[in-house]
Structure 1
Amino acid sequence: MKNFNWTNIRLFLIVGVAVFLYSFSGIRNEGRKIKQAEVVFVDNENFITKKDVNKLLKQNFDTVTGIKKVQLDLNKVEKSIDTNPMVDKAEVYATIDGKLTAIVVQKKPVARIFSGSKSYYLDYKGNEMPLSESETARVPLVSGSIDRTDKKRLSELLNYIYDDDFLKKNITGLAVMPWGDIMMDIRGYDFEVVFGKPINIDRKFKNYKAFLQDAIKDTLTENYKTINLKFTQQVVGTKK
């Protein structure tokens, strides 16, 4: 008679029990009903409201609460939220205690575009974003011959301004000239900034900050009509 290997038998039984308990808990978990829906915004913007997201959560069901977790297609729900033009991305998951949670990342508007009779935001990824009924973004206004400039470079310029606290607070508007140059309106000053084409962005803004620092120190800012940044080796100020 062969001797039984009780160690292997015990190991087999333990694994079997674990698989059974896991399967049983999984079945019970899928059978649980959703008791609560929660919307969490990653940022502090309010271009879309929690009410709007809840509507998207419910669009495939009469109500979210009360349905079984097994009935939820989380990928489908995420895609439904992603269709909202204010949403950058969403993640939806259900917890063991019956809570359906939607984590929502909203788009970041970096400018408001005025093109003919059309007005919209341009987001950080360079895509169009409609105006919101819930909130107005404090971003530079862009107008003029927008079709005369490189859209990718314009987006890079606007992102640079957005990422720089000083520029973000002080540049209020950009006008695209018919020949493609960009003029900028500055908060608190009478002069305009001639930026030129949206190239050499970092170099031009470093020149501008250095020039402005010296002008403020010498109290000369009121003497200038325009500040020209087109030439990366120097800043040309035109006096009134």
Structure 2
Amino acid sequence: MKEIINISLWIIALVLIIVGLSFANKNKLYMQLSKPVIDIDYNSENRFIDETDVLKEIIHNPQDTSKYLYAFDVTTIEERLKNNFAIRDAQVYKTVDGKIVAWVKQNRPIARVINHKNESFYMDEDGYLMSLSEKYTARLLVINGNVKPSYNQYYKKNLSQLDDSLATKTIIDELYQLAQLIDNSEFWKAQIEQVYVNKELEIELIPKVGNHIIVLGKPEHMEAKLNKLYYFYREGLSKTGWNEYSEINLSFNNQIVCKKNY
């Protein structure tokens, strides 16, 4: 008899716990949304987005603030945030005290492209195109000249994984590789301000220091050409002066051809 009473008490206690938890969970679901907690990892000095922009993706209109917590789907919010051109990654979750927490990592562009139709957009570090921001203009390497690709043509594609036939016609993937090489070097980031594509789809570099043009030629072996230029700067121009030449041509094998300023 005593054992039956003990079992009954355990059953009653278990039922009360389940009911209590269900009631607590229901209360949480029907909690009013409090102000979302927003954390932005800017990943660079650029400021394409701020808390207001993230908040607009979470709460589309002022009436949403009166909704209960259950009405906000964090997966949908995450997708909206990730579809924002300026956002590289996002994580959204709900807390037990009725808050929505959003962590956002901002995209980092490495170059600004101005195509042959004067359309302008960014190229990010992962090889995707970004539209310009009305809020902030980044100071970056500029790629211009005979650049055919448009933003709408390539913004969903990864430039490092283009089909060979498509890439060959546009050299957009090589331009991305060159922008990466420049971005990964503090020296070249400080020295190269412009990449120009001429009518023959050959590449020229405009430096920040020195009264000369750097001719890379065809978009091939670019890392080797930059290494060759670096040693020429260190061993040659450091002695003759940065304004000695009007052109430094790296397009020939195993040699550097220079034109003097007169």
Q: Tell me which interval the TM-score lies in, with the shorter structure as reference length.
A: 0.7 to 0.9
1:92-143 C-alpha deviation (Å, 9 max, x unpaired): 1222233222222222222222221312222223333222122111112211
Question: Structure 1 residues 231, 99: CA separation in 2 closer, same or farther (over 3 Å shift)?
Answer: farther
Give the aligned partner of residue 164 of structure 1.
185
Give the aligned partner of residue 89 of structure 1.
89
> TM-score scaled to structure 1, two decimals?
0.83
1:63-88 C-alpha deviation (Å, 9 max, x unpaired): 45443222211111111222222222
Question: Structure 1 residues 206, 24: CA separation in 2 closer, same or farther (over 3 Å shift)?
Answer: farther
Q: Distance in 2 between matches of 1:186 and 1:217?
A: 15
> TM-score scaled to structure 2, two decimals?
0.77
What's the secondary structure of 1:218's corresponding residue?
helix
Superposed displacement of residue 90, structure 1: 1.8
Question: Structure 1 residues 70, 232: CA separation in 2 closer, same or farther (over 3 Å shift)?
Answer: farther
Question: Structure 1 residues 94, 221: CA separation in 2 closer, same or farther (over 3 Å shift)?
Answer: same
Preserved CA contact (<8 Å) 2:124 2:130: yes
Structure 1 portions without partners, runs of 5+: none
One-letter identity of the residue aligned with 2:126: K
What's the secondary structure of 1:158's corresponding residue?
helix
Q: Distance in 1 between matches of 2:13 and 2:84?
A: 49
What's the secondary structure of 1:198's corresponding residue?
coil
Give the aligned partner of residue 123 of structure 2.
122
What's the secondary structure of 2:255's corresponding residue?
coil
Question: Structure 1 residues 208, 228: CA separation in 2 closer, same or farther (over 3 Å shift)?
Answer: same
One-letter identity of the residue aligned with 2:211: D
Q: Distance in 2 between matches of 1:233 and 1:15?
A: 83
- Tell me the C-alpha RMSD between the 2 structures: 3.0
One-letter identity of the residue aligned with 1:153: E
Paired positions, count:
236
Q: Distance in 1 between matches of 2:21 and 2:181?
A: 51
Q: Distance in 1 between matches of 2:239 and 2:16?
A: 82
Percent identity over the alignment? 26
One-letter identity of the residue aligned with 2:199: P
Q: Distance in 2 between matches of 1:58 and 1:90?
A: 16
One-letter identity of the residue aligned with 2:49: I
Preserved CA contact (<8 Å) 1:184 1:194: yes
Deviates more, 1:16-25 or 1:209-218: 16-25
What's the secondary structure of 1:39's corresponding residue?
strand
Give the aligned partner of residue 58 of structure 2.
57
Question: Structure 1 residues 218, 15: CA separation in 2 closer, same or farther (over 3 Å shift)?
Answer: farther
Superposed displacement of residue 24, structure 1: 5.7
One-letter identity of the residue aligned with 1:133: E
Give the aligned partner of residue 239 of structure 2.
218
Preserved CA contact (<8 Å) 1:113 1:120: yes
Superposed displacement of residue 213, structure 1: 0.9
Question: Structure 1 residues 232, 109: CA separation in 2 closer, same or farther (over 3 Å shift)?
Answer: farther
Structure 2 portions without partners, runs of 5+: 149-168
Question: Structure 1 residues 21, 152: CA separation in 2 closer, same or farther (over 3 Å shift)?
Answer: farther
